[in-house]
Amino acid sequence: MSAVPSPAPTGDYLPTPPSEPPKSTVSAKEATVYLHTPFHPKAELYAESRFKKVLRFGDASEEELMGQVDGILLRTGHVTRSMILNAPNLRIIARNGVGYDNVDKPTVKEKGVIVTNCPGGNSQAVAELALTLMLSLLRRVLEIDHRIRSGERVPSIRALSPGLFGKTVALVGMGDTSYELAKLLLSFNCTILAYSPTSSKERWTSEDTKYPVTIPHTRFDSLEEMLGKCDVLSLHCPLTSETRGLIGEKEIGWMKSDAILVNTARGGIVDERALEKKLKAGELGGAGLDVWDVEPPFGESLGELGKMLNVICLPHLGGSTDGVTLEGCTTAIDIMADYFDGKDLRNRVL
């Protein structure tokens, strides 16, 4: 599942990004930056102190805005090909977060625009939410809350649940978030399974030089073999051409009928209509979804998933605790300002 660049526009040659980024011709205090979607309020004030001008969505038409910008600060939303082509002075896109699938990669390569991210900053918050979804589903919180609010008398004997303690949890991906979640799961005496073709064989072992805590786990080369053994499947891989649709009808069919699926990674990894079909048929126990094909999720985009009491629907808020959001937004601002001021460029991904 190694990352594969998106296909290039027909007829376009995409040069390999240079090993050294092009130098900025403006300083931070001379730069105009665009906040594509809102940052933490305190971070927005901080941005105004670091740059000459901060533009926001709605200040003018897209074409007028892009014609002025030297940098784009990105949290959610997408930076499209048309935005980049309309921004002749654009030098850098600084993303608050790990994934950068919301940036048109072929076009930034074509135009030589730098892209940076903030890895690891929100991993504990996302792991916390993944655990919250597991516990809420396995203790039937949403369903029982709804029954009580609907006027039903619910004696505890009619609200028994499997719980999380001692369950087998399968993790797809072995990066920062998965690692933080695995540490939490150990306190629940969970058996941990892992699938990550792109991670080294030493990952989470005593020979791992990246992560200090050894995670007892069983590593699988076959997704099919692992899915048949788990009570909980939690996704923590990036969205690439190889992981898009990774969990579809066939893969859900490999799982136990009472297992649950948690996705705090990216929406395109799970086929939502296949998930809906399996849940309606009683062939899966439940799902906790923080990421979607259409974000934020609303109305018809939810389909039947939004009506099911064994499905928890959240609007991609995994990393959105107050402290984590402020830190991530501030880091993205600092990375961009440092680039404009000729300092070392951190966390370049494109």
Q: Is 149 exposed, middle or buried (0-12, 13-18, 19+ CB in 10 A)?
A: exposed
Determine the topology of domain 28-121+323-341 in CATH.
Answer: Rossmann fold (3.40.50)
What confidence score (pLDDT) does residue 76 get?
A: 86
Q: What is the pLDDT of residue 120?
A: 75
The predicted structure's pLDDT at residue 7: 38
- Distance between first and last Cα of the chain: 19
Q: What is the pLDDT of residue 12?
A: 37
Whether pLDDT at 257 is above 70: yes
Give the C-alpha separation, 255 to 282, whole Å. 12
Residues 291, 267: contact at Cβ < 8 Å?
yes
Please check whether the two domains, 28-121+323-341 and 141-309, share a CATH topology.
yes
Average pLDDT, the chain: 93
CA distance 336 to 350: 14
pLDDT at residue 20, rounded to an integer: 75
Give the residue-averaged pLDDT of 195-209. 96
Is 78 annotated as catalytic? no
Q: In the prediction, which pLDDT does 99 show? A: 84
Higher pLDDT, 8 or 148: 148
Place 19 in a pLDDT band, splitting at 50, 70 and 90.
Answer: low
Rounded-to-integer distance, Cα 100 and Cα 104, Å? 9
pLDDT in tens, 311-328: 999 999 999 999 999 999
Determine the Cα angle at 263 with ends 308 and 188, to 5°. 95
Percent of the chain with pLDDT over 90: 88
* Domain extent listing, the chain: 28-121+323-341, 141-309
CATH number of 141-309: 3.40.50.720
| HEC per residue, 150-166 | CCCCCCHHHCCCCCCCC
Among candidate residues 30, 62, 295, 304, the one labeled active-site is 295
Q: Is the pLDDT of residue 229 over 50?
A: yes
Report the predicted TM-score, pTM, of the whole model to 2 decimal places.
0.85
- Answer yes or no: 316 catalytic: yes
- Residue 141 pLDDT exceeds 70: yes
Express as a percent the part of the chain with pLDDT over 70. 95
From residue 242, how far is each of 6, 199, 290 by CA, in Å?
Answer: 11, 15, 21
pLDDT value for 313: 98
Question: Long-range pairs for 274-278 at CB < 8 Å and ≥24 separation?
Answer: 274/248, 274/249, 275/247, 275/305, 276/303, 276/304, 276/305, 277/249, 278/249, 278/252, 278/253
pLDDT at 4 over 50: no
Specify whether 236 is catalytic.
Answer: no
The yes-or-no verdict on residue 69 having pLDDT over 50 is: yes
- Of 9, 38, 212, 15, the C-alpha closest to 113 is 15
Q: Could you say which of 36, 40, 91, 266 is catalytic?
A: 266
Q: How many CA atoms lie within 13 A of 94 on its CB side?
A: 25
Q: Helices marked H in 7-140 — which ranges?
A: 41-50, 62-66, 81-85, 105-111, 123-138
Six-digit token string for 64: 């007028």
Q: What is the reported pLDDT for 261?
A: 99
Q: Which of 96-105, 142-151, 152-161 has the lowest mean pLDDT?
A: 96-105
More confident: 162 or 97? 162
Which of 140, 217, 236, 316 is an active site residue? 316
